[in-house]
A = this chain, B = another copy of it.
Amino acid sequence: MPRNILFIMCDQLRWDYLACAGHPTLRTPNIDALAARGVRFSRAYVQSTICGSSRMSFYTGRYVDSHGAAWNNFPLKVGELTLGDYLRPLGRRTVLVGKTHMAADVEGMARLGIDPNSVIGTRVTECGFDPYERDDGLHGSGPAGRYDPRPVPYNDYLKAHGYSGDEGWDDWANAGEDEQGNLLSGWFLKHARRPARVAEEHSETPYMTRRAMQFIDEAGDEPWCLHLSYIKPHWPCIAPAPYHDMYDDDDVPAPVRDVSEKSAPHPLFDAFMQSRVSQAFSRDEVRQAVIPAYMGLITQIDDQIGVLMKHLEQKGLRDDTLIVFTSDHGDYLGDHWMGEKDLFHEPSVRVPLIVVDPTPAADATRGTVCDALVEAIDLVPTFVDACGGEAQPHRLEGRSLLPWLHGTPPTAWRSHAISEYDYSATPYAARFGIPSLDARLFMVADHRWKYVHAPGFRPMLFDMANDPDELHDLGADPAHADQCNALQTVLTRWALRNAQRTTISDARIASMRGASLKKGILIGYWDESEVPDEVLHAKWRGARGY
């Protein structure tokens, strides 16, 4: 059994921006080495295409529709169990270094009298983790104040290292400068090819890696689960030297898009295509500026994973540590005339997922690729399984991936992957007159089809076998109505799943069958002759002289 779990997450890293996943020009030798030691899941889907809600599914093992934190900064309900709640009873100190995008249910905590500064309150606030260092990596500020009001130790770190002012993240790490040394903000896409204004060692990725190594050193012999959660390659997209010019125009893949996508598009796809960020990434100039920096940031992460792996080896932890490498969602990068994420084309909803199990049980599958449909919610059950815990299907909706790693594939694996997106906080809900609670999209994908249910609109449908680039939306085509209906039926079955009966296990329910009779609850008995003797005796004869 692995002693430790190292759960590495990137932010906004597409599934195909790794050399081991087939990227033609990107260099990721250390991540590739993880894939060679473990299993790479080539069809891994996130439960939502936006940071906060995707992560809440990663951390709870539950669909967004189940935990309800459906968008960034929608608080996670105080009662939801998270990774730490599952792993602490299994003896793993569960710690965070980096980002969660968690919004605490402050109202719920107040209602239940939970002091946010207590140990329990901190965990409820910090997504179930003991925060070794929390940094969501988004420290913008404007006329309405700071986006993230928490303290930023990284800003203090930069200041201590000679970067002036209190906003080092914004002014140095995520900015460049012109020839006169003036700040050129990394928020502006046109600056993406400039070097960031920090020495590489002071940039976020190495900083967080060092914090992770500090934790590992301090933890000593205590078993742990460490969530090392990088903000990069998420925007602002600007890389420190030498990563800022490691890639060039020639290294940028052509966009996956077709003008036909703009003719009679699904109204919501159309709306998203019209957004500022989509308009921007539809321009070659933007892609050519941003993608090399995005790639540089990935190679920087790869190098830091190399540093971290060497550290694990030096500490003798290599064969004791289960390692996961993944991302919270992808990035369109101009594919399908889109920027950002939000919708369900593969560049957005599909993520890298590599799992390295150091135990001999996984030897036979090292270096293999598994194309089963796996989901972000499978990680918590995987970790519970790896630590010898019992499956808890009454609250964990994913399933352990270990059977895949151990060469014993489950006979009845899921046939469809589900993802969700809540657009109630975007301008489109109001624009289309969709009530806030209905402003949701649901993806159902199998090995061939991808279907999107959009209440208030027609569905979307892609045939990934004949149209692997997802350029032809068949959702309006009467010839595919049966296919849509079949996938809608799958969605219905999913929607009727039993997701909230979380306080009682199936085993405990089974033990309740017939139990009330033995506690004297006699339903439908005409007279005493019908009652088992031991019940009758205990109820009256013995105890009270009947």
Contacts and interface: CB of A to CB of B under 8 A. Distances in A.
B189 A142 contact: no
A437 interface: yes
Contacts of A67: 500
A138 B426 contact: no
A82 to B, nearest CB: 11
Interface string A413-452: 0000000001011110010000011101010000000000
Contacts of A111: 81, 85, 120
B77 A500 contact: yes
A157 interface: no
Contacts of A440: 496, 498
Contacts of A108: 79, 503
A266 to B, nearest CB: 18
A113 B285 CA distance: 55
A191 to B, nearest CB: 8
The 7 lowest CB-CB distance pairs between A and B, nearest first, are A79-B79, A277-B524, A140-B520, A68-B500, A495-B495, A144-B518, A142-B520
Given A513-B425, A527-B188, A171 B538 contact: no
Interface stretch (A198-206, A247-255, A300-308, A504-512): A504-512
Interface residues of A, number: 117
A465 interface: no
Nearest to A539: B142
B523 A340 contact: yes
A219 interface: no
25 contacts: A68-B502, A73-B512, A75-B503, A77-B79, A78-B78, A85-B111, A112-B124, A113-B118, A141-B538, A142-B519, A143-B518, A143-B535, A143-B537, A183-B544, A275-B524, A276-B523, A278-B524, A279-B524, A280-B525, A425-B512, A430-B510, A430-B513, A437-B501, A492-B495, A495-B496
A516 interface: yes
A89 to B, nearest CB: 10
One complex includes copies of this chain to the number of: 2
Contacts of A424: 506, 509-510
A339 interface: yes
A107 interface: yes
A477 interface: no
A144 B517 CA distance: 9
A317 B85 CA distance: 49
| Most chain B beta carbons < 10 A, residue from A74, A427, A523 | A523
A76 interface: yes
A293 to B, nearest CB: 14
A114 interface: yes
Contacts of A77: 79, 500, 502-503
A497 B495 CA distance: 9
A70 interface: yes
A69 interface: yes
A534 interface: yes
B143 A437 contact: no
Given A425-B509, A535-B142, A538-B141, A235 B500 contact: no
A80 interface: yes
Given A141-B538, A440-B496, 5 more contacts: A68-B500, A68-B502, A74-B503, A112-B124, A185-B546
A503 B141 contact: no
Interface string A1-40: 0000000000000000000000000000000000000000
Interface string A515-533: 1111111111111101000
B68 A503 contact: yes
A493 to B, nearest CB: 8
Contact of A526 (B70, B190, B503, B540): B190
Contacts of A188: 522, 525-528
A522 B488 CA distance: 37
B112 A524 contact: no
B502 A436 contact: no
A67 B83 CA distance: 22
| Most chain B beta carbons < 10 A, residue from A453, A506, A518, A520 | A520
Contacts of A426: 513
Contacts of A156: none
A234 to B, nearest CB: 11
A310 interface: no
A442 B277 contact: no
A496 B535 contact: no
A181 interface: no
Contact of A515 (B144, B146, B506, B538): B144
B520 A141 contact: yes
Nearest to A191: B527
Given A524-B339, A544-B165, A539 B141 contact: yes
B534 A143 contact: yes
Given A436-B510, A506-B437, A522-B188, A70 B544 contact: no
A492 B489 CA distance: 9
B276 A524 contact: yes
